[in-house]
Amino acid sequence: MKPFSKLGSIALVLILSLAAGCKKGQKNYTPLPGYSGTPGASSSLGKGQPILPPARPLTTDGSGANGADVAGINNPDGANGQPSREEIEGMLANREHFKSNSVYFDYDKSVVKADSKANIQAVATYLKAHSDNKVAIEGHCDERGTEEYNRSLGEKRALSARDALIALGIGADRVVTRSFGEDKPAELGHDESAWGKNRRGEFILLTPPSAGALR
């Protein structure tokens, strides 16, 4: 075989091998609402990110609390009485204030349990005393179930906690929800101890920029 022919054959084999490897590396995935990208592509939606495309992030209050963003708001136009993105964009987000008031759910359920009602009451009491504040509720799931199913279940859990706040007298336009599904576990693990802590709803306090630090 001529040298050039041999080199051409080797190059062809390498190209075919690379093509086969790339095809094999593409795994099946569950498409999410509002996202049309492909796995591995540069995108604003990654592991642990909300469903909808990102908008400008909410700011933090400067006290060490983590910021939240408006990307995951499931009613960006204020549907179902929820505040719109425009209404909460720029508000200060404090993840620590209601950290001890998280609510937990049974497996595959979205009903607020009796032992969680005191936590919801505490959130409602604070919001009633601070009428200029709002709250974001994040719904979470354990790792079992498909990604799409868990996003839906996480939203149902957030809405269930929202309904409980509204029943206690909090205006619907002060409570916004979003779901992270299984993407943001509170505890890593593959047993009931971890799963029970991951099936939760978290309350994020939102205050107007002019309010400054928490009162």
**The pLDDT value given to residue 76:** 46
Task: Determine the Cα–Cα distance for residues 86 and 78; give it in Å rounded to an integer.
Answer: 9
Which residue type is seen at 91? M
The residue whose two tokens read 């919801």 is 120
**The pLDDT value given to residue 167:** 97
Task: Determine the Cα–Cα distance for residues 173 and 167; give it in Å rounded to an integer.
Answer: 13
Residues lower than pLDDT 70 in the chain: 1-80, 211-215
**The pLDDT value given to residue 123:** 99
**HSE of 89 in the Cβ direction (CA atoms, 13 Å)?**
14
pLDDT digits (tens, 9 = 90+) for 33-82: 333 333 333 333 333 333 333 333 344 333 333 444 444 555 544 456 88
**The pLDDT value given to residue 21:** 47
**The pLDDT value given to residue 68:** 44
Asked whether 63 and 213 are in contact (CB, 8 A), the reply is yes
* Angle between the N-to-C axes of helices 117-129 and 147-167, in degrees from 0 to 180, rounded to the nearest 10: 60
Write down all domains in the chain, each with its CATH number in brackets: 59-211 (3.30.1330.60)
**The pLDDT value given to residue 6:** 56
**The pLDDT value given to residue 9:** 61
**The pLDDT value given to residue 37:** 36
Q: Give the rounded distance of the alpha carbon of 58 from its chain centre.
A: 14
**The pLDDT value given to residue 168:** 98
Three-state DSSP state, 156: helix
